[in-house]
Chains A and B, each alone.
Chain A
Amino acid sequence: MKQVFAIAQIVLKESYRRKDFYVLFILTVLLGVILGSLNFFNEQGIVRYLKEFSLLLIWLAALVMSLATSARQIPTEKESRTIFPLLAKPISRHQFFLGKFFGCWFSISMALFVFYLVFLLLTLRKDEPANLPLYFQAYVLHLGFLAVVIGLCLAGSVIFAAPSSNITILLVVILGITFLGPHLAKIAVKMAEPTQSILLAIYFVIPHFEFFDIRDLVVHSHPAVPWWAFGCALIYAMAYSAFFLVIGCLVFRHQTLQK
């Protein structure tokens, strides 16, 4: 694991030394702060609307940052050829792949932590009660969702050489899963065979991102999710991340690297 974390550390270092990483980050925080500072007649409904919009902004920014960070990791290593002196050392390809995963995930976790901290401060400024256990659950479940996205994106990056095509395809897939995934079963029962079986199979195979999304609970100040359900969602995220990592590792392991 020492080697895996050494690679993860390099990804982290690269993330904070790259200027483009900050652009989206600063923009999102700035937009959140501006939105949060607006006050419309102390109307409670508007405060909830602002919370909802801020959380949506955080979700979108974190998704774009995760995709942009993880999609370029392996293609850039190949293109700049930094992969050669590294893999000429006693490190296996799966350790390299895992290092990239943890590096992306750690850097996104840090960015997401700042996002949620700003969001919490904005909520407190609006005299809204902040349910800290729920905020913690929202943050950790969001990280679970991003772990699946990063795993999927890294696996995609060893298949699609160009990061732009990987990002575009995954954005469509993730948005499709997010908006259609939860309704597939309902659509399936209205269909004839074999479409019904195919849709049901897809429903059970795809990761259900709605398990990680408790934004509504945060917006409407609900109590925290039962801890057993929270734990199950995390295990679900780990299982899907591991699945995508294994697929990525298997493909990458058999790839020929030519200088």
Chain B
Amino acid sequence: MSTPVLKVDNLRVEYRSKDSRESKIAVRNLSLSVSAGEVFGFLGPNGAGKTSTMNVLLGFVPPTSGAAFLFGVDTREVIARQRIGYLPELTYYYKFLTTEELLRFYARIFRIDSNLIEQRIDTVIKLVGLDHARKKQIKTYSKGMQQRAGLAQALINNPDLLILDEPTSGLDPVGRMKVREIIESLKKEGKTVFFSSHELGEVETVCDRVAILNQGELKVEGKVSDLTKQYGMNLEHIFLKIVGYNPQPSPL
């Protein structure tokens, strides 16, 4: 059996606040596994532990206990991040750079062969549709264009695994469609995509499997088609049921 692309093993993440001795448990004994070529939706309400899990996957936070692995390498190792692309929720880039400069910089961080860098930049800039603005500073871009620049930087190393943190957050319908098309094209190329989103309709369309977290615990995990069949409702209703949301009758 091949090594899973992403594996979370009995992960626990606790944060100790500076002013009190109490610690807050963000993730409790989470175990997950994502295989090559899957599009995996990582869902949960705000504060469910999605970001904390992603922080561990990306090496920003060490696990309190348990471990996380990318391509079989512990995420605490720098090399674990060699084959991944990461798109943050908001556009956290050097805005004094042009997209071309930003991509050249990240390509050097990935130690891409200097002969291949320009070719790779051309490919990803065309893929995200920023060819016309490649020489403009990112600070002059609209939100949607900045998000596409972000997607370009996530793809610069031709990653085998993409970790997307709410990739369509704040985008207009055209921007969302563009991101969805890119995810689908990556899926066709056999890439693995791990993404968190609150857009459940989109998740249902794009994802092969999903996991739903609530209060740091994994509540449900499985194929989208199996879950909708099992619960007899769409993903949005499954999600609301799991997080314990009871719709109140309208007072009007």
Contacts and interface: CB of A to CB of B under 8 A. Distances in A.
Given A6-B109, A256-B61, A88 B81 contact: yes
A252 to B, nearest CB: 12
B109 A90 contact: yes
B96 A81 contact: no
Interface in A67-95: 80-92
A17 B153 CA distance: 22
A257 B88 CA distance: 14
A189 to B, nearest CB: 44
Nearest to A257: B60
Contacts of B84: 88
Interface residues of B, number: 36
Interface stretch (B51-59, B119-127, B197-205, B232-240): B51-59
Contacts of B153: 85
Interface stretch (B100-108, B183-191, B214-222): B100-108
A2 B88 contact: no
Given A2-B108, A3-B111, A258 B61 contact: yes
A9 B105 contact: yes
Interface residues of A, number: 27
A14 interface: yes
Contacts of B61: 256-258
B60 A82 contact: no
B94 interface: yes
Contact of B94 (A14, A84, A89, A256): A14
A251 to B, nearest CB: 15
Nearest to A6: B108
Given A10-B105, A90-B81, A90-B110, A85 B55 contact: no
Of A18, A83, A90, A92, the most chain B CB neighbours within 10 A belong to A90
Interface in A1-54: 2-3, 6-7, 9-10, 13-14, 17-18
Contacts of B97: 10, 13
B108 A91 contact: no
Interface string B168-208: 00000000000000000000000000000000000000000
Contacts of A13: 96-97, 101
A84 B92 contact: yes
A259 interface: yes
A91 B101 contact: no
Interface of A: 2-3, 6-7, 9-10, 13-14, 17-18, 80-92, 256-259
10 A-B pairs with the lowest CB-CB distances in the bound complex, closest first: A81-B92, A6-B108, A88-B86, A257-B60, A90-B82, A88-B58, A90-B81, A17-B96, A89-B109, A92-B78
Interface of B: 15, 51, 55, 58-62, 78-82, 84, 86-90, 92-94, 96-97, 101, 105-106, 108-111, 150, 153-154, 157, 163
